[in-house]
Amino acid sequence: MRHEADGTENNWRHLIEAVEEFGQGFTIFDRGLQLILCNKRFLRMLDFPDAIARPGAEFADFIRFNAERGEYGEGSVEAQVEERVGQARRFAPHCFERTRPDGTIIEIRGTPLPSGGFVTVYSDVTGRKREKEELERQTQYLRSVIDHLPQGISVFDENLRLRFWNTKLLDVLGLPPATVHYNAPFEDLIMVPALRGEYGPGDPHEHVRTRKELALKFQPHRFERSRPNERTHLVEGRPMTLGDSVIGFVTTYTDITDRIAIESDIRQKNDILQTLFDNIPGGISLFDQDLRLVACNAEFKRLLDFPEEVFADGPPGMEDLFRFNARRGEYGEVDVESHTGAMMERAKLRQPHKFERTRVDGTVLEIRGVPLPDGGFVSIYTDITDRKRAEEEIQRLARFDSLTGLTNRHSLEVRLDQCLAEARRHSGRLAVMFLDLDRFKGVNDSLGHAVGDDLLKEVSRRLQASVRESDVVARLGGDEFVVVLTDIAGAQDAGVVADKIISVVAQPVQAGEHHLRTSTSVGIALFPDDGQDRITLMKRADIAMYRAKAAGRGRHQFYLAGANELDGLPAGHG
């Protein structure tokens, strides 16, 4: 019997561990609605205190706890408890979602047990719900965008059944609305123009059969077709693949009638366009559907440092420019031909893009590319070197003290936490030193802040020179500094460094015409002896520093438990 009980207990434990791994909470109540078992994730997911989850706890206790903190909204607590306990006593399977006051969405799935009672599984579906809502929103956005595109669009699956289209498709092809519907056969749709004679003389059914055979090859195609209404359309079809399998094809129908009519006018206006290009604040390049350069401005050539000989034989292709850049090392040390080929493959995808590229001379360019409806591509090049440097400077100022260049208070907290974590992992020791300059206020008051700043900068330089690169020197503000010594053998190491710091700080400082002397008092707290966390160690190093000041300044003191608390900080120090 004992063996069976142990086996049952192990099974329960394994079950709990398994459910925990799946990130779900669960509860099991008996037929009397008393708790048999629950896991910690259930308690955390619904913010229940551990104390409530005792074996035999009443189901009503959990409901009342929730009702009292407003989980079910406004209303009588007892009425809410009675209603939900009544529902539970039906022991009916149920699955519903409940949104908690903090916005978390919990899916609650309950299943009655054969012996009475029920087991309930709780899943946090907040992310899933929001992802679904976001997907639906993006789908609506996409649908709206596609419906407003000037092209007609159709998507057929691998069986040539219509899966997607936009309203423009009906206008472009003159299709009756009744013929265009989900799952409509390809041959039914093209039969409409065939019967109108749009594919020329002959049997319409033969035209349809021929075109269906071509469509089943799922080959990319691009051609122009003129309709009887004197409109000309550019028809572009591309297969869609999933892995190595073809899953259909997408076709766009672009009305190019007006484009054809104004092409001559566009050629006449090229000079005007070039003038506009040359006055755009940034480089710009325009490539046609064959990825040949159609137009660019002078700034494009300047920013990318293209010499005029590149354009001597006429507008170069995108591949020519890629190869030229690769040969002169713009992309680093690469195989010229393979790298050029890879870049052309990406360019042929004609995907919108935005990225930054640092040229060999240090110039940072932001490059934005947008595909054009006719298959061309426009790219804009902006010199963001100054902006990037400003951003780097802002980031530096956020981490370092602007006067001394030392680590600032915020970065100190982060780095000290990292040092402590490293020391714990390797059973190491470290020291936190808290120090300030004795009588620094007098320097500021008598000689001015500029002299005081010079003194702080020189002291900072000496502090950094007194420790290893792996150690941390930080300025908290004013004349307060913290030094973190990592990976020390013991208190003796910290004492040696503290004496060194006291010695170098005491050396004369020449600040302009002023010959200054100062001293420092150093308080030391050791990990793990004096504290296990950053806050405790810094506080105790501070206490030890004030003991050093009280003992006569220009010396160091280690934190001593008991003796330090009697000092009654901060009154009487400084």
Number of Cβ within 10 Å of residue 227's Cβ equals: 16
Q: In what order do the strands lie in the sheet with 556-558?
A: 472-477, 480-485, 430-437, 520-527, 556-558
Q: Where are the beta strands (DSSP E) in 438-528?
A: 472-477, 480-485, 509-511, 514-516, 520-527
* Tokens encoding 566: 């009697």
Secondary structure of residue 151 in the 3-state scheme: coil
293: helix, strand or coil = strand
Residues 6+ apart with CB under 8 A from 562: none
**Rounded Cα–Cα distance for residues 320 and 529 (Å):** 67
Q: Which of 124, 438, 454, 479 is catalytic?
A: 479
Do residues 39 and 26 lie in contact, with contact meaning Cβ atoms separated by under 8 Å?
Answer: yes
Query: Which amino acid is residue 386, in one-letter code?
Result: D
In this structure, which amino acid lies at residue 542? Answer: D
- Which residues are CB-neighbours of 524 under 8 A, at least 6 positions away? 431, 432, 433, 434, 491, 494, 495, 498, 541, 544, 556, 557, 558, 559
Look up 479 and say whether it is catalytic: yes
Strands 377-383 and 283-287: antiparallel
What is the C-alpha radius of gyration for the chain, rounded to an integer number of angstroms?
38
Which residues are known to be catalytic? 479
